[in-house]
Amino acid sequence: MQKMLTVISKVLRGTVTKNGAQAVSEGTRVVVSARTYADFTPQATFDIKKCDLHRFEEGPPTQSVLTREEGLQYYRTMQTMRRMELKADQLYKQKIIRGFCHLYDGQEACAVGIEGGINLTDHLITAYRAHGYTLTRGGTVREIMAELTGRRGGIAKGKGGSMHMYTKNFYGGNGIVGAQVPLGAGVALACKYQGNNELCVTLYGDGAANQGQIFETYNMASLWKLPCIFICENNKYGMGTSVERAAASTDYYKRGDFIPGLRVDGMDVLCVREATKFAADHCRAGKGPVVMELQTYRYHGHSMSDPGVSYRTREEIQEVRSKSDPISLLKDRMLSNNMASVEELKEIDVEVRKEIEDAAQFATTDPEPPLEDLCNHIFYNEPPMEVRGTNPWMKLKSVS
């Protein structure tokens, strides 16, 4: 306290020394720090958009309580996702990342909101646009970036790449369109069988929503009352085809027919969180599955081979960025309700940028996995076995 008062006193007296700039900076930092703990609003209640309902008499609340700590955490996580994806875009264009790569920027409120509405002990499976969910499920930026560059320190040991990342209670990252949906129902069946009060969030996009296997899964999940939240991330385009051109009915939340559904503003992290909590409560009560549609938007193209502007205009993308950006929406809420300062959020931005740069440095210097590791982990808890290589005379070893 004495040091803080001395610094502030020097600043107020306008003391000029060779360390004057440092004193001003330190004084400002101390004042901001003091304000951080004393003057900010600890929590606030926000009005959120009402969800459209299917076979529900009542829906999620239209107000959400956000604490300062939650807000700062959501902001940091969404900024980390955004910066990570922009760095992945840069590394791909430099040909450091190769192969398929689907970026998640613009859809951050979906992943963060869903995670805010369930527990880490619950389960989640998604399609190939998986970087954001790998982060919210417990993966680190270093592990994700190293996986993208195919390095030994990657979250799948450099053997999965962009579409195949896994961590505890997170089952990928699946490259076959819609194929993760029956798998998610299987995970939900395991939850019910084990009686552990857990559930599975099963995600797919509007492009996969017309797959027959999804409707087959709806049927079984409803018959067996599985604790499964089916979530369609509707980002308006399946590859380069708009939803209006691909689907006779774009009410994806009604597609379950006999399964109740919700249509949610997927650009608002609080709206997604409250809807997910509501759906999770429904599942845990033994009432069976729920279908949710999150109306969201991707800023990049479908994949890195898609510039994203041949089937939509740059003006359309810019309008969404300016009016509905999920990070800007949360930031404006926190600033206008005195839950954070501009300086504090800028400091988070600086920390996030440094974390991304450090991760990118690691991802470009970490060694690639050696050939002898190629066939490891084919089976779980089995003795070592030989695996045929690219010809009958090449033998590789697989270790569990």
Q: Helices 326-336 and 269-284: crossing angle, nearest 10°?
A: 100
Write the single-letter amino acid at 229: I
Per residue in 231-287, pLDDT (tens digit) is 999 999 999 999 999 999 999 999 999 999 999 999 999 999 999 999 999 999 999
Establish how many alpha carbons lie within 13 A of residue 151's alpha carbon, considering only the half-sphere containing its beta carbon: 20
Per residue in 362-379, pLDDT (tens digit) is 999 999 999 889 899 999
Is residue 352 classed exposed, middle or buried when 0-12, 13-18 and 19+ CB atoms within 10 A define those classes? Answer: buried
At which residue do the structure tokens 């709806």 appear?
A: 218
What pLDDT, on the 0 to 100 scale, is given for residue 390?
Answer: 85
Whole-angstrom distance, CA of residue 160 vs CA of residue 146: 11
Whole-angstrom distance, CA of residue 313 vs CA of residue 292: 28
What pLDDT, on the 0 to 100 scale, is given for residue 193?
Answer: 98
What pLDDT, on the 0 to 100 scale, is given for residue 38?
Answer: 60
Given a contact cutoff of 8 angstroms between Cβ atoms, the answer to whether 67 and 40 are in contact is no
Whole-angstrom distance, CA of residue 248 vs CA of residue 320: 25
Whole-angstrom distance, CA of residue 270 vs CA of residue 49: 9
What pLDDT, on the 0 to 100 scale, is given for residue 389?
Answer: 86
Q: Which of 393, 376, 373 is nearest to 385 (CA)?
A: 376
What pLDDT, on the 0 to 100 scale, is given for residue 66?
Answer: 98
Whole-angstrom distance, CA of residue 108 vs CA of residue 116: 12
Instruction: Identify the segments of the chain with pLDDT beneath 50.
Output: 1, 4-5, 7-34, 36
What pLDDT, on the 0 to 100 scale, is given for residue 392?
Answer: 86
Whole-angstrom distance, CA of residue 93 vs CA of residue 19: 44
Write the single-letter amino acid at 232: C
